Amino acid sequence: MTIPKERHVLVVFPHPDDEAFGVSGTMSMHIEQGTPVTYACLTLGEMGRNLGNPPFATRESLPEIRRAELLASAEAIGVTDLRMMGLRDKTVEFEDDEKMTKMMEDLIAETNPSLVITFYPEYAVHPDHEATARAVVRAVGRMENRPKLHCVAFANNTLEMLGEPDIIHNIVTVRDKKIASMRAHISQTAWMLQEMEHKLEQGEPEAENWLTLERFYSYRWGNEFSS
């Protein structure tokens, strides 16, 4: 299986593990097709909820744990151009809009992507997700020759408001890489992986679909974020 060939793919998310669940298969497929992929992760997820029970980490040690997990995930996917952008978890929403937009503009100017992947504004649930998505959309919206913008959306009202995703990638050929990416972030994903494995053992089709299909929305220009 193949997906459309791109010149360069830029993926922008705020947290380690954001890439694992929604786009790691797509990223792996692009890389296997010879397309350069840059992953810009804005924070190290310092405020991640899971410190373990009993605790395996403290607030002081968690950033380094998550940095190592992010590096392991990138290796599993095949990403060699990983950018750690140095913002702080749960504060992205408070960053200056123009600072954030300039950061995205600089990334786009450097990498010259034909495709940018991020969250869909207003359908990404977490404030850091939303702030990241808005910054990417503002930066792309100001361009004369825009790259394609594919967005991950998972708010409860996504289907009601956006309908079915218009881009679905079957990533079954890199399914193992997706699982390895998720496992790399074990400090935060252990319970989710256990639940997923249980559903797979029970033969629940939605679990397998979740591992083999990745869904995106083409961003629909013409709203307040495009200016």
The single residue listed with the structure tokens 């850091």 is 128
Tell me the pLDDT band of 63, cut-offs 50, 70 and 90: confident
List pLDDT tens digits, range 156-189.
999 999 999 999 999 999 999 999 999 999 888 8
Q: What is the pLDDT of residue 67?
A: 93
DSSP codes of every residue in 59-128: TTTHHHHHHHHHHHHHHHHT--EEEE----TT-GGGS-HHHHHHHHHHHHHHH--SEEEEEPTTSS-SHH
The predicted structure's pLDDT at residue 131: 97
pLDDT digit string, tens, across residues 87-97: 999 999 999 99
End-to-end CA distance of the chain: 37
* Other Cβ atoms closer than 10 A to 195: 11
pLDDT in tens, 6-58: 999 999 999 999 999 999 999 999 999 999 999 999 999 876 555 444 455 55
| Ramachandran class of 222: left when φ > 0, alpha when ψ lies in -120 to 50, beta otherwise | left
